[in-house]
Structures are given as structure tokens and as C-alpha cells.
Amino acid sequence: MMGDPGSAMPLTHRGARFELVPSMQEILCLLDDGRLLVSRSHLQNPSVKAFVARLERISFTHVLHPVEMSDISQAYAGARVTARHEVSGSDMQNYARELFRRAVKLRASDVHIRVSSRSNTRILFRIHNDLEFQEEQTYEFGHQLCTTIYQAMADVADATYETLSSQDARISDRSKIPFGLDGIRVATSPQVDGHVMVLRMLYNDANNSSDTTSLGYTATQAQSFYLMKKKPTGINIVGGPTGSGKSTTLQRLLSSIIRESLGRKNVITVEDPPEYPIPGAVQTPVTNVESEEERARAFQSAIKAAMRLDPDVIMIGEVRDTPSAKLAVQAAMTGHQVWTTLHANGAFQIVDRLVDLGVPAELVCDPAIVTGLTCQRLLKVLCPHCRQPLDQVQASLDQFDVERVRTAVPNAAIYVRGTGCGHCGNAGITGRTVVAETILTDEPLMTLLRRGDRPAAIDYWRAAMRGQTMLDHAVDKIAQGLVDPFQAEDIVGLLDGGVRRLREMAQAN
């Protein structure tokens, strides 16, 4: 689960309640939401300790967060610019900044601005994967807002907002984005009666952790990742549909490789586009492309270029066509550790996808070449304050559905999504958590796959390798009261495959 970086104001800057001298402002920042940011290297500093003691004396509720000094200067910078800006009075930029702050506060992944001459401008946030309507404005307001964001806030050389074409840009000027973000990716497109702008919020807390269990992976799965990282060569693939959190997982794994090697490994990424900074990695973007065809070609030449840069570890953002699949496998065969993502519905299905993409089956089923297969989805985490026991609501539900869930998850206190409360911003959910399956390949498993004996391979994986399917993982999380069983079924499929219902209907007839 991810924390909320919020968009709080410092209480320790000049003129504020707890004003500090400039030298202290370099190592400490108290925010008005109670977060106390303290430089990791100065936790034992006597002045820091004295400040904490002072807060405790007056019973000021706070939570200490050890951070980097750059995070602290960023926290102050955001506030200074806001203050300056109110004076200069560019209303539309202020409005945009406030919109971004609200989005970050609600942990929205995207902001959609739909400008339409027929139905005005509608602003929506994507929160926990659902689009939520925020507000309506006039057409002119929306047009002006998009123009301001593109022309005055984004870093584009040719800064003219064209409502009749698709444009891409990025806002990376720290003074224009709220605390908690690394940047905002901007994508625009015309629509029949207006235009659309989609802003992707790039949160910066995603790369502060190199831990996969905090994403929702089990200890056994984290152990599989550990062993994949230990193998010096081979390709490790994370599968799942769009929006299933694959990139976050890869980014955490790469961060941990860099940290554990103490910077002795040359880690190169090829991404289109790079989403998050991975400190310590060389991230190469795919640039200057107009068409899909050009994009594919540019991506392939970026992979080839990366292989010439003497890498130990290569991350390829996504394998999506035959050339990139073949290049990824080739990189693994020439002595590199490769990490990538792929669209697939299950860990074993990754094997099928690679074969579909034209990689010879004998290479795909070689445990020295393909070392790790992972597939993941994201489930919504129930708000612990307003979730409802299934017992209390089951009378209003389909009895087949209730029985199916109770049979699949026996002897557990099962909860469903509540109507929302003050703790969860009336959403009923507080974040998302991974359900996954991981396979660390070996010779016996790959021999079974080469023979085409998938059921035997699955049995071996479950018995000898403690393999757990995504469905098993979801059942565990339902039993812990962490996720709603019916939402889980929407994502990972019916808990019993729906067999029971059909059987009973057949008997009734």
C-alpha cells in the first residue's frame, strides 16, 4: 500500500508558527498535516532533538519521517512559490496548482480535463483505478486551463497548445507541482466537439522503497524475487494487464539491486517514456518519434544501444512486439540480467506469449535463459473503519454469491466495502494491494513445460516450489478482511470458477 504524500504547508518557514533559523530549515520541516520531515543524516542532531522535545512538551501531534535533505528543500520551495504566486496573481496557474494539490491529496493517479462545446468542461480524477467526477466548468474555462498548463507550466520547446493534434509534455519544474510528485506527464488529444487533456501524477514515494512486501507480495514471493536477483544472467518478466502496477514492482526491484550492490552494478533502463526516476540507474528514453512504427524502431535501437553500454542489468520497459522480445532474450543469452514487463493473464501464460511473439520454445523453456515469471493484479484495500461484515449485508445479496464466497473462504471474518467514512474520504477504500503469482524457474519445471504438460508443471510448482496462484493469494487477503470478495472476483475471476451455480441449476431442472 502506498502512503499519501499530501500537499501540506510547512509550519517552520519564515513567519510561520514554528519558524526556524535557515540552517535548521535545511534539515527539518514540520508540515501542517503533522508530518515532521527530518534529514536521515541529522536524526541525532541536538537541535533536531530539542525541537522534537519542544513538540512533545506542548503535545503537538506529529509523525517523524526520515527523508533526504532534497525532500526538505522541496517542501519549503513549494510553499514559497505558492506565497509568491498569490501576489503575482496568475489565476489560471493558481487554479491548476490547486487542482494538482487536490489530486495528490486524494492520491489520484490521473487528472482528466474534458473540454467540450456541447457539455462544458468536466474534470475527473482517477482514484484507486476508478474515474471520479470532480467538477464542471465552462468550455472557455477548460480551454484556458489546458492552454495555461501546456504553454506556461509544461517544459516544451515548441509551446503552442494545438487543440487539433495530440501532444505530449511533462511538467517537472518543482515550483509548479505539489510536494510528493516528481513530475506530471501531460497527454492531449482532440475529440469531436473539443479536446481532452490527461495528466499523469508521478509520485515520488514510489522509489523511496525497495521492498516488494509493502506492495502486497508474500514473504515467499519476495524470497523468489531475491533469488531471481541473485542469478547473474537470465530474463525475469512481470506480467499483467495495463494498470496492474507492473512498473512499480520493477522499479522497486531495480532500486534494491542498485542498493544491495552498493552501486557496483551498471543498471540501464530503456523506457518509453521513463515514468519514475530510479536513482543510480542510467535511464534512456525513447525520443523523437511520430508514428507507432517509428516508436517500435526507436525502442529497438535503444535496447541495442543499452547493450553496448556495458550493462550488468538491463530493464526494458515493455516487451510488446517480436523484435523487442527477441532482443530481450538475446540480452539474457549474452550475459546480462534482464527485467521487463509483458501483457499476460498469468505467470504460466507468459511462456505462451513469448512463443506467440516468435521466441523459439526451446529458448523460452530454458531455465538458464528465462529465470523468473511473475504475474500481478491490484485489489482495492478496504477501509478498516467502515468495512462491513458479510454477515450483516448478506441478506441483500445473491445467495449463490454468498455461498460461493463462504465455501472458498471458510471460517473467516469476511468483510465487504462500506459506504465510506471520514477516514477514507468516503471512498470505502484506502489504497491498493498486489495479488500475484511468482515462478522461479528450474530444470524439472521447464522440462514439463517443454513437453507441453502444463498441469504437471503447475502441480510441481505448487508442491515443490510452494507456488501460490493469484486466486490463492486473493483468498488469503479476503480471509484477512483486507479486500472485498466480490471486487476480488471482478479482478481474479470467480472463486470457484462458477461451477457450483451451474451444477445446482442442473440439479434443479
Nearer to Zn ion, 423 or 462 (CB): 423
Q: How far is the CB of 5 from Zn ion (least distance, A)?
A: 20
Q: How far is the CB of 425 from Zn ion (least distance, A)?
A: 8
Distance of CA 201 to the CA centre of its chain: 10
- As a whole number of angstroms, the distance between CA 479 and CA 165 comes to 49
Nearer to Zn ion, 372 or 431 (CB): 431
Sequential DSSP letters for 142-207: HHHHHHHIIIIIS--SS----TTS-EEEEE--GGGS-TTEEEEEEEEEEETTEEEEEEEEEESSTT
- As a whole number of angstroms, the distance between CA 311 and CA 314 comes to 6
CA dihedral 282, 284, 285, 289 (to 10 degrees): 170
| Backbone φ and ψ of 276, nearest 5° | -125, 145
Q: How far is the CB of 108 from Zn ion (least distance, A)?
A: 18
Q: How far is the CB of 482 from Zn ion (least distance, A)?
A: 14
How do beta strands 370-382 and 429-440 pair? antiparallel
Nearer to Zn ion, 289 or 421 (CB): 421
Residue of minimal Cβ distance to Zn ion: 383
Nearer to Zn ion, 208 or 388 (CB): 388
Nearer to Zn ion, 386 or 488 (CB): 386
- As a whole number of angstroms, the distance between CA 234 and CA 446 comes to 14
The cell numbers describing 352, all together, are: 505462451
| Backbone φ and ψ of 11, nearest 5° | -100, 0
Q: Is 134 within 8 Å of 114 (Cβ atoms)?
A: no
Q: How far is the CB of 480 from Zn ion (least distance, A)?
A: 17
Nearer to Zn ion, 259 or 385 (CB): 385
Residues in contact with Zn ion by the rule CB under 5 A: 383, 385-386, 421, 423-424
Q: How far is the CB of 481 from Zn ion (least distance, A)?
A: 13
Nearer to Zn ion, 424 or 446 (CB): 424
Q: How far is the CB of 203 from Zn ion (least distance, A)?
A: 22
Q: How many residues does the chain have?
A: 509
SS3 letters for 372-413? EEEEEEEEEEECCCCCEEHHHHHHHCCHHHHHHHHHHCCCCC
